[in-house]
Structure 1
Amino acid sequence: MLIGCQNADHPTEEEHLCVCACVYRESEDEYSDDDDMSWKVRRSAAKCLEAIVSTRHDMLPEFYKTVSPALIARFKEREENVKSDIFHAYIALLKQTRPVIVAGADSMEEEEGPLNMLQNQVADVVRAIHRQLREKSIKTRQGCFSLLTELVLVLPGALDQHLASIMPGIQYSLSDKNSSSNMKIDTLSFLNTLLANHSPSVFHPHIKMLVPPIVNAVADPFYKITSEALLVTQQLVKVLRPLDSKSAFDYKPYVKSLYSCTVKRLKAADIDQEEEGFPILASFLRKNQRALKLSTLQCLDVVVRNYSGAINASMLSDVMKEMPPLINENDLHISQLSLNLLTSISRSHKQAMSSIQAEILPQILVLVQSPLLQGGALNAVLDFFRALITLNLPKLGFRDLLSKLITPVYDTRLSSGPIHRQAYHSIARCVAALTEMSPLEASNVVAQFISDIKNPKSTELIVLFSLLALGEIGKNIDLSPHRDIQNVILDCFSSLNEEVKSAASFALGNVSVGNLPKFLPFVLQEIENQPKRQYLLLHSLKEIINCESSSQTGVEILKSYVQTIWTMLFHNCECPEEGTRNVVSECMGKLTLVDPHTLIASLQQHLSDPSPLARSTVVTAIKFTISDQPQPIDPLLKSCIGDFLRTLQDEDLTVRRVALVTFNSAAHNKPSLIRDLLETVLPHLYNETKVRKELIREVEMGPFKHTLDDGLDIRKAAFECMYTLLDSCLDRLDIFEFLNHVEDGLKDHYDIKMLTYLMLVRLSHLCPSAVLQRLDRLVEPIRATCTTKVKAHSVKQEYEKQEELKRSALRAVVALLNIPDSDKSPQMNDFMSHIKATPELAVMYDTIQKDALSSGQETMAMDTS
């Protein structure tokens, strides 16, 4: 259909209006000619509109003015297949609206924004569709429910005023004897979405009509219908008696029927052979299905926490037996949920924990030594130890557990050999958790760690661990009674071991948090007086600011020191060492969160500083004010971030590079900050993707000449921004302009090629139609990568890099071939023939294709479960 368009990549308004007209049909009168073949035109037009809508996110407002009304008007289409395609086209329009809302809801609040335009058309959609919900055609009804489901997901609450029109259709599909199983499942699925995304009160006038067919569906012999109906029942209970509002609705007449049908399913012999659920749930933990294990652990945890009175130790014994194999580094999420369950059991059923020492605790201690332990899994370990120490179980007191934890650090004769460095951090946090729960033991433990640091016979690893442990303990306990602690830690700054120095910096900062009035002035004084130790001392200051700015109490304490710290930081913002400047920037950014209005204004003033080092420090500081969680600073940040991003036009290369890094952070963590600026920022971003010959130079190293590209880092930063924008701001991108720069990146340096191949895989999933139009041009640089041979006598690293580059290119090829109709490209077919004729490439391609297939199947299985 786009053959007649002047520019298929960018159809003009007039051109897509012509396509709309084909769908709309010139006459509003219904036609009756059985031989009428114009349905083919209308069907082609609908498919064409779906393709345009799917690829041109930037034209959404225009689509809602022209395409949407034309499609709504043709919901009455007589030909069933054409009607299905029209529904699909409208669903595509709704799906293109969803990313806009997810990525930046604030941008949708404009009067002419797609969201408001859709809101104004909801009545037209319902008017055009409600009668068709009672048609005999199952395909038509399924299309209607699919469209309404997408509408509700895009616009929650959209059908508040239209339920009276829709309810008869729902009742019809659930009650009609001729409805297929899939029809009932689709209806129940829509009803579930409808109930979850609207106010409970709007359903109260319709409850009498809704409950009987839902009760019948719960009793349906087909388990999939029963399952969907039970999900609807779950939502219906919340509607009948909403807990978050006072409702005068009389729910009592409906409780008995809902309760009876649910209990009947629970008692059914073909569903569950035992009313005793714990042995069955325990058996699920042995199944080789990850999703089932995750759901079972979550279920058990909820039951243990909420129904402890109905559970006894014997019921938990089967569950406890299944715990040891679940706790290991191979699956930290399962380990985390297992530890959460054990923590819940320890808090409500102490007697069930008597068997923990034999098998479960050794597994936990092994997990603590894993270099992979972090985040939620590590926090679950800490919570477990906090709960365990309060039980006062035999041989599991404070000293017993402390000994078990630190033995791998202090006993060098262990057959397993030295533990990973990361484990020292995890063990230190576990020791601090135990100490926090045993304050009477704290003084002696801290004294022992200080003694170990001072002892000249202590190994560097023991000193390292002791410093980390002091830091973790000092966060929550005031260690100032140990009068020489700051000097003992400071002496470690002179160590020849970099890890010990870093641990000392960490310890000084965190010990200071325990008593800020005593320790912070000492740290600030040392920063001014000890220039050689400045980098480490700034890291200590960073630890202080990070810890204190995360709590309201800490912020209040820190406020009295803000101006002193701020002045000191600006004294060091022009340090020639980039590492020191980065620490200064992080301190500035985190401190800005304490007093945003004053400190952001100060940062803005320094954007015009004559020193490029100072400008780069200030721009980097803004990066550290951005987080992925809502912050009070966000409105202020949104109003001023454009000033900081104007440094993308700075004359200094380093300033432009850090501006890109800051932009990338905003796009990744909080895209709403930069969405409205993209129109002005993107040209400067794309400008930095170009290779600049003036930044390429040759250096002589002995008899050899090496080429250095000083613009490589900034190009990498630019392409990293582009990759981020695909996830967060896709709807604001001109995909064809974007693809132009991706195409250039495929011919660039190794690092950039790797990035652009990743982008190509993402684009193949997100914008297949647009990529398909550029396929012939994209194949050529991919072919060049796969056919390039490493020069003779090259080092092993060059061969490995080239092999990895080929693998990345072939992953992109697999993704491209998954796009419908990609096999019709002559260039792609020719390239595939070359791959199959080259044994090395053929083997590599087959392996990658199998990996992609198995990965896709695994994802699908997880989604289904």
Structure 2
Amino acid sequence: MRETSSGMRLDALACIRHLCEHYAEPQLYQQLAPSLCPLLLHCCNDTYYKSIAQALRAIGAYMYPLRPTVMTTSNQLMEMLPVFEVLKAKLLATDIDQEVKESALECFGHLVACTGDLPAFSPTLQACLPPFVERIKNDVTRSTAIKALKTICISTVHVAALSTVLAAVGGQLSLYLSQNSRAFRQQCLDALVHLVRKYGSAIPTETMMHILTDIVPFITDTDLYITDLCVQVASQVLQASPQMAPAVVDRCVLPVLLVCRSSLLQGSALDSILSFLSRLAQHREHCPFERLRQELSDTSVVAAAQAQAQRHVIGTLAKGLAAVVSSSATDVQTGAIQHFLGKIKQCGASPGPEAAQQCELSLLALGETGKTMDLSHTPDFCETLLQQLESSQDEIRLAAALALGYATVGAMGTLLKVVIDNTQQAGASAKGQKTQYLLLTSLREVIAIGVTQRGPGDQSLAEHLRPHVPRVLPILAQYADSNEESVRNVVSESLGHLLMVDQAAVLQALAPLLASKESWRVRAAAVSAVRFAAAKQCPASTIMPLKDQLLRCLADEELQVRKAALHSLNVACLSPTSTEIFRTHTDYIFDRIKEDSKQKPELIREVDLGPFKHKVDDGLPLRKFAYTVSTSLLSAYPEQIVSPSLIDLVLQGLADNEDVQVICCQLLQDLCSWNFALFRIIGRIGDVVEPFDRCIMRCIKQVQAKQQVGRAMDMLRLYARTLRVVEPIAETNQHKVFVDFMARIMKDSVFAQVYEHASSGKDSL
């Protein structure tokens, strides 16, 4: 840093910054501070703006080794006290470079996050806050300033000095929500969440009211990520300032309940809304339970929706009801549970649509509530749910099965035995088999939740399951040969999850199923269990004993077994815990992929539809799986997979069905992204010209003839994106055949427009 060469200084400053960002021994940096800090401060007064910016970033990173935790403050931290004076000058200056402004704001955020609670830094910090607020208000620097504010808010240090500017900062962030930029609105909401979470109790009531008013218009189902952040803000306001509960109820409850009735609600937005409803239930005086129950029990909005959308909305409303009930007082919980049971009992043998929906909602609400409460001692609880398994309505039967499974999670000691006993006693009649399948669904839910959650007292729910595994396995083995694919999926999922509960017992049960010569369905169900175990990121030792059987199934004579094996292999290769298991077998796997990716005439059959005949390719699903697995292998084991043979696979796929072409184009793009692989494939670049030429011309003719225009344009966009990745490689290596092909194909106006959009990032796909 003492060098006169600006390049050397920049490299030295960047090196210090990266070292500080990944420090391991803070004592070493503390010892060097008396020597390094003056040099860093000297660089802040350099004449070259890049040196100033890098010095400020290095100072911001250096703060953390000087104070690794709140309780361990080194004496060398005082070396950084003059930095605030430098920052104040940079924050006030208007005629400095933009990069210096941004780096000064970043540095300020890190300094306050580390030293904001220390009395020695308080006076200089107070002097820097007004210009910092002005930077938040400035259109040019506001984004960087808001990032710095978030850095301060997520720090473990409580900065009392911020109380003087909380009103201005909170009001400005709230005002920015009306901006058209979605990305900037998202950034402001994210900062508001952290600001209210940490300093909400010190934010003035008037500012809080402005924030609540400004977030309400964005609580909709049109942008769930923005809705998620808005609901988080409202939830944090409710937690940080309980006196704001009337305003939160008045402004936010209605739009949140409207979103609850949307068939689009899912993911983190749903989690935030459930958390909000849980906190809302604790304010009975402002938002009575009965009001929330009535609003969340209104299923009239789903009457005109499709069946799948109805199930989704009813499931969401049930989760909302359970969140409210679980957070309410004991007397409210008892009354709500009795109300749900009463609704279920009122449902007759042939209920109308409204009664059936209310019954389904009550069942699911009971089940969701039972995840966190023990409902096994509630009178008539088990009997009512078991009785509904014999309902005439499919939706009610499935809801009862799911509810029984969910409730078992909260009452493992009692309900698990009930579920298993009833499954064994269901009988072999047609009616008994249907009930047994529903009880298997209940058991699947228990197992799926049990392997990931922990019960009361931090005891794993899997420990409750383990003693019952020997009783469950014969039932699962019995249904592994079912003609219904949905039943076999339940069996596979249950076996895969149980593999993580009692490995020895499940391996012993899987061995005869994988070796079964009597039915391919049994082998397919057994090999699919590996997929569900790998999807839960089980330890490699769990899947290792099944490796040889899985590889053997890749060469099974039955197409469906090979497809199931490829699916399981695909998940296992991408799972971070089991990737290494198959590294030494990539050659064999790739050989099987090449075999299964071929079009086979014997798998193509002709269906007579009267006026015309239609060809059905039964081998297409297997080929699609084979190409998908090759993409996963390239991602997991690039060194072993990259070869000219992979180009042959791509060329073969480009002559196949359009669904296969989509996967092949992605495979070619991934292949070109590996720099080490280019020398292995560069000689084959010219081979892709003919298939792409054929595919593109076919789509162009379809567009010109107005035949399947939408599909043809989608494929043209796909080809354009792929060629855009390949073209720089061909040009760099002066590949004349490919360059001539691109020059010729770009003369077509349709493709030229599509390619231009793909190159400019305007491609809608």
Q: 1:765 to 1:353 in 2, by over 3 A?
A: farther
SS in 2 for 1:708: strand
CA distance in 2, matches of 1:291, 1:240: 34
Shift of 1:184: 5.9
Shift of 1:847: 4.6
SS in 2 for 1:280: helix
Q: 1:315 to 1:790 in 2, by over 3 A?
A: closer
Shift of 1:572: 1.9
- Equivalent pair of 2:731/2:739 in contact (CA under 8 Å): no
Residue in structure 2 matched with residue 400 of structure 1 by the alignment: 291
Q: 1:707 to 1:482 in 2, by over 3 A?
A: same
Note if 1:502 corresponds to 2:412.
Answer: no
Offset from partner CA, 1:430-475 (integer Å, 9 cap, x none)? 1100000113222332333333333345443333322322221222
- Equivalent pair of 1:757/1:808 in contact (CA under 8 Å): yes
Offset from partner CA, 1:786-808 (integer Å, 9 cap, x none)? 2237999xx99966544543443
Residue in structure 1 matched with residue 82 of structure 2 by the alignment: 257
Residue in structure 1 matched with residue 227 of structure 2 by the alignment: 335
Q: 1:202 to 1:367 in 2, by over 3 A?
A: same
- Equivalent pair of 1:816/1:822 in contact (CA under 8 Å): no
The one of 261, 277, 284 equivalent to 1:369 is 261
CA distance in 2, matches of 1:664, 1:233: 46
Shift of 1:589: 0.9
Note if 1:814 corresponds to 2:724.
Answer: yes
More deviation, 764-773/441-450: 764-773
- Equivalent pair of 2:469/2:505 in contact (CA under 8 Å): no
The one of 665, 676, 691 equivalent to 2:571 is 665
Note if 1:738 corresponds to 2:564.
Answer: no
Q: 1:186 to 1:536 in 2, by over 3 A?
A: farther
Note if 1:301 corresponds to 2:193.
Answer: yes
More deviation, 813-822/373-382: 813-822
- Equivalent pair of 1:369/1:420 in contact (CA under 8 Å): no
Note if 1:243 corresponds to 2:69.
Answer: yes
Shift of 1:627: 3.4
Residue in structure 2 matched with residue 572 of structure 1 by the alignment: 479
Residue in structure 1 matched with residue 562 of structure 2 by the alignment: 656
Residue in structure 2 matched with residue 32 of structure 1 by the alignment: none
Shift of 1:581: 1.3
Q: 1:797 to 1:486 in 2, by over 3 A?
A: farther
- Equivalent pair of 1:467/1:504 in contact (CA under 8 Å): yes
Note if 1:684 corresponds to 2:592.
Answer: yes
- Equivalent pair of 1:241/1:251 in contact (CA under 8 Å): no
Shift of 1:476: 1.9
Note if 1:603 corresponds to 2:538.
Answer: no
- Equivalent pair of 1:642/1:677 in contact (CA under 8 Å): no
Shift of 1:519: 3.2
Shift of 1:255: 4.5
Note if 1:179 corresponds to 2:6.
Answer: yes
Letter in 2 for 1:197: H
Letter in 1 for 2:408: S
CA distance in 2, matches of 1:666, 1:722: 13
Q: 1:354 to 1:188 in 2, by over 3 A?
A: farther
CA distance in 2, matches of 1:298, 1:231: 23
The one of 638, 645, 653 equivalent to 2:551 is 645
Note if 1:778 corresponds to 2:684.
Answer: no
Residue in structure 1 matched with residue 601 of structure 2 by the alignment: 693
- Equivalent pair of 2:451/2:501 in contact (CA under 8 Å): yes
Shift of 1:425: 1.6
Q: 1:715 to 1:465 in 2, by over 3 A?
A: same
Residue in structure 2 matched with residue 197 of structure 1 by the alignment: 22
Letter in 1 for 2:229: L
The one of 277, 302, 325 equivalent to 1:435 is 325
- Equivalent pair of 1:467/1:507 in contact (CA under 8 Å): yes
More deviation, 842-851/547-556: 842-851
Letter in 2 for 1:301: V
> What TM-score results when the alignment is normalised by the length of structure 1?
0.70
Shift of 1:349: 0.9
Aligned length: 672
Letter in 2 for 1:172: R
Residue in structure 2 matched with residue 53 of structure 1 by the alignment: none
CA distance in 1, matches of 2:48, 2:236: 37
Residue in structure 2 matched with residue 470 of structure 1 by the alignment: 366
Letter in 2 for 1:397: P
Shift of 1:370: 2.6
Residue in structure 1 matched with residue 376 of structure 2 by the alignment: 480
CA distance in 2, matches of 1:505, 1:397: 31
- Equivalent pair of 1:638/1:674 in contact (CA under 8 Å): no
Note if 1:753 corresponds to 2:753.
Answer: no
Shift of 1:221: 8.7
Offset from partner CA, 1:636-663 (integer Å, 9 cap, x none)? 4346535423321233322221111011
Residue in structure 2 matched with residue 594 of structure 1 by the alignment: 501
CA distance in 2, matches of 1:390, 1:230: 47
Q: 1:222 to 1:401 in 2, by over 3 A?
A: farther
Offset from partner CA, 1:208-235 (integer Å, 9 cap, x none)? 2321233345567988766654543343
Shift of 1:696: 3.2
SS in 2 for 1:476: coil
Letter in 1 for 2:599: V
CA distance in 2, matches of 1:570, 1:608: 13
Q: 1:662 to 1:410 in 2, by over 3 A?
A: same
Taking the TM superposition and a 5 Å limit, the aligned residue runs for 1:287-366 are 287-308=179-200, 310-366=202-258
Residue in structure 2 matched with residue 23 of structure 1 by the alignment: none
Higher RCO structure (Cα 8 Å, ≥6 apart): 1
Shift of 1:355: 2.2
Offset from partner CA, 1:139-180 (integer Å, 9 cap, x none)? xxxxxxxxxxxxxxxxxxxxxxxxxxxxxxxx236xx4x527
Offset from partner CA, 1:739-796 (integer Å, 9 cap, x none)? 221121111122211211232333344458466543321122122222237999xx99
CA distance in 2, matches of 1:761, 1:569: 42
Letter in 1 for 2:34: K
The one of 435, 439, 453 equivalent to 1:537 is 439
Note if 1:513 corresponds to 2:390.
Answer: no
Q: State the Cα RMSD in Å.
A: 3.7
Shift of 1:428: 1.2
CA distance in 2, matches of 1:221, 1:271: 24
Offset from partner CA, 1:594-625 (integer Å, 9 cap, x none)? 12244335434643333433222221111111
CA distance in 2, matches of 1:724, 1:413: 42
- Equivalent pair of 2:717/2:763 in contact (CA under 8 Å): no
Q: 1:421 to 1:617 in 2, by over 3 A?
A: closer
Q: 1:309 to 1:260 in 2, by over 3 A?
A: farther
Shift of 1:821: 1.3
Q: 1:412 to 1:205 in 2, by over 3 A?
A: closer
Residue in structure 1 matched with residue 491 of structure 2 by the alignment: 584
The one of 450, 458, 465 equivalent to 2:341 is 450
SS in 1 for 2:501: coil
Residue in structure 2 matched with residue 96 of structure 1 by the alignment: none
- Equivalent pair of 2:37/2:80 in contact (CA under 8 Å): no
Shift of 1:490: 4.2
CA distance in 1, matches of 2:744, 2:390: 61
Taking the TM superposition and a 5 Å limit, the aligned residue runs for 1:52-91 are none
Q: 1:384 to 1:218 in 2, by over 3 A?
A: farther
Shift of 1:560: 2.0
CA distance in 1, matches of 2:536, 2:548: 19
Give structure 2 stretches of 5+ with no counterpart. 92-107, 109-126, 136-164
Q: 1:236 to 1:849 in 2, by over 3 A?
A: closer
CA distance in 1, matches of 2:591, 2:365: 50
CA distance in 2, matches of 1:610, 1:414: 49
CA distance in 2, matches of 1:377, 1:711: 40
Taking the TM superposition and a 5 Å limit, the aligned residue runs for 1:118-267 are 171-172=1-2, 176=4, 179=6, 187-199=12-24, 200-217=26-43, 228-243=54-69, 250-258=75-83, 261=86, 265=91, 267=127
